[in-house]
Amino acid sequence: MDTKWRTLLVAMVVAIASIFVVACGDDETTTSSSSDGSGTASAADTGSDTDAATLRAGLTHILTEHVDLAGIAVIQAATVEGGLDSPEFEAAAAALDENSVALGDAIGSVYGKAAGKQFLELWRSHIGMFVNYAKGRLTGDDKLAAKAAADLDQYRSDFGAFIESATEGGLSKEAVAEALAPHVASVAKAVDDIAAGTGNPFVDLQEAASHMPDIAAALSGAIATQNEIPGDPASPASELRAALTGLLDGHVYAATITIATAINAGGDLKDPGVVAAQEALDANTDALAAAIGSVYGDPAGEQFKELWNTHIGFFVDYTLGKATGDEKGAKAAKKDLAGYREDFGAFLESATEGGLTKDAVSEALIPHVESLLTTIDAAVAGDTEVFADLRTAASHDVDLAAVLAGAITTQFPDKFGG
């Protein structure tokens, strides 16, 4: 990889997730934007570890996180004392703004600081519009909500114009505005359900987040083409890595929301709010199991689902132990999670035919487990650092997605090679 792209991608990835490192080998093993001479991309161009695949996965992570953090902020505004003026909302909003700054830095690393600043101003403005919409719906101020909805409609066009200019027509204003319509509508629906106490806002939030990988795919495609970034962001391997990134991100946020809801309900797992949050978490687990099953077969998908649900149960046990002062129970749950890492490692070693070893998987899961435990501790203590801890926890699953995608694409080159 030449110095230009090494520098750009490292800057891009650090700005996007603050947890990636682009693994650049020597000239014989690094990816290249050249084809095999036939006009089609070579296997090296279409792998899950190319620069373009890393770009797409990074954008998937940070855009999905944007929706989840925005939803959490609205939930804080609706459910805690003080609403929009509460310390909890302010802390959630601060975490959301950190996400926005990271995305602005990522755009600036490609298009220059001026473009990054312009992007950040636009992005922050649309978050402010969602806050106004939420405020209007939560307080019954229909006029404010209607104006915010109109502002969001105009924002889609303004943001489309920015992207069209930045990508030099790679993405048109109209195409971007249209792509943003489901994002705006689905987030608004989540706010509506929270305000009215109808539907399932947690499932709404999951639906809203599900639109972001498509936006990440479009953006990464335009950026990669315009800047001749090595690799193919639309390859099956890139698609797999991005899909796993979005699903694992969703797991961390859905699990944390469920746990926080259970804490607020005094540990009552039958509380309607807890049940609603659990429904969204279950849907995420089903989607992950389906993804594994699509590669390794339905029995493997079911085995994965059983293991995954078991580790979620251990996190719940830890939460209840901490929340009720049952330190013995919390310690037992922590021990169970250590055992889970071994069991899940054995499952992946078998599935990948040794592509990932049991010990390597167990080791890789340590940050996931430890960071979620830290997040739970903060939630139980009522510490507003919980939102920053949550971002850290989610960041580790981006690494897991990269590792898993790499093993799968290596194991099945015919399916994921191009």
Could you report the per-residue pLDDT of 264-280, keeping only the tens digit for each? 899 899 999 999 999 99
- What single string gives the DSSP state of each residue in 165-224? HHTTTSS-HHHHHHHHHHHHHHHHHHHHHHHHT-S-HHHHHHHHHHTHHHHHHHHHHHHH
Q: For residues 246 and 65, is the Cβ–Cβ distance under 8 A? A: no
DSSP letter at 54? H
Could you report the per-residue pLDDT of 309-323, keeping only the tens digit for each? 999 999 999 999 999
pTM of the complete model: 0.87
Length of the chain: 418
pLDDT score for 418 = 53
pLDDT score for 113 = 94
- From the number of C-beta atoms within 10 Å of its C-beta (0-12, 13-18, 19+), residue 385 rates as middle
Closest by CA position to 11, among listed 90, 110, 86, 117: 110
Could you report the per-residue pLDDT of 44-66, keeping only the tens digit for each? 455 899 999 999 999 999 999 99
Assess whether pLDDT exceeds 70 at residue 334. yes
Which residues have CB under 8 Å from 295's CB, separation 6+?
A: 408, 412, 415
The domain segmentation of the chain, as residue ranges, is 58-226, 236-418
Assess whether pLDDT exceeds 90 at residue 37. no
Least confident of 19-28, 56-65, 195-204: 19-28
The Cα–Cα gap between 105 and 352 comes to 36
Assess whether pLDDT exceeds 60 at residue 16. no
Element of type H or E holding 47: none
Arithmetic mean of pLDDT over the chain: 88
293-301 own/partner pairs: CB under 8 Å, 24+ apart: 295/408, 295/412, 295/415, 296/351, 300/351
Assess whether pLDDT exceeds 70 at residue 289. yes
Average pLDDT over residues 192-211: 92
Least confident of 73-77, 351-355, 358-362, 402-406: 73-77
The pLDDT-based confidence of 167 (bands split at 50, 70, 90) is very high
45 or 9: which carries more pLDDT confidence? 45
pLDDT score for 417 = 76
pLDDT score for 45 = 53
Neighbours of 272 (CB within 10 A): 12
Average pLDDT over residues 119-129: 96
Assess whether pLDDT exceeds 80 at residue 234. yes
Average pLDDT over residues 26-36: 34
Which residues have CB under 8 Å from 65's CB, separation 6+?
A: 99, 249, 253, 391, 394
Could you report the per-residue pLDDT of 143-152, keeping only the tens digit for each? 999 999 999 9
Q: For residues 376 and 318, is the Cβ–Cβ distance under 8 A? A: yes
Average pLDDT over residues 109-122: 94
- From the number of C-beta atoms within 10 Å of its C-beta (0-12, 13-18, 19+), residue 151 rates as middle
The pLDDT-based confidence of 38 (bands split at 50, 70, 90) is very low
Angstrom distances, CA of residue 72 to CA of 206, 267, 282: 12, 20, 18
Could you report the per-residue pLDDT of 239-265, keeping only the tens digit for each? 999 999 999 999 999 999 999 999 989
Average pLDDT over residues 325-339: 97
Assess whether pLDDT exceeds 90 at residue 36. no
Could you report the per-residue pLDDT of 176-190, keeping only the tens digit for each? 999 999 999 999 999
pLDDT score for 22 = 31
The Cα–Cα gap between 293 and 227 comes to 36
The pLDDT-based confidence of 27 (bands split at 50, 70, 90) is very low
The Cα–Cα gap between 358 and 48 comes to 21
Percent of the chain with pLDDT over 70: 89
Q: ∠ CA(72), CA(78), CA(79), 5° rounding?
A: 90
Residue type for 159, please? F
pLDDT score for 354 = 96
pLDDT score for 365 = 94
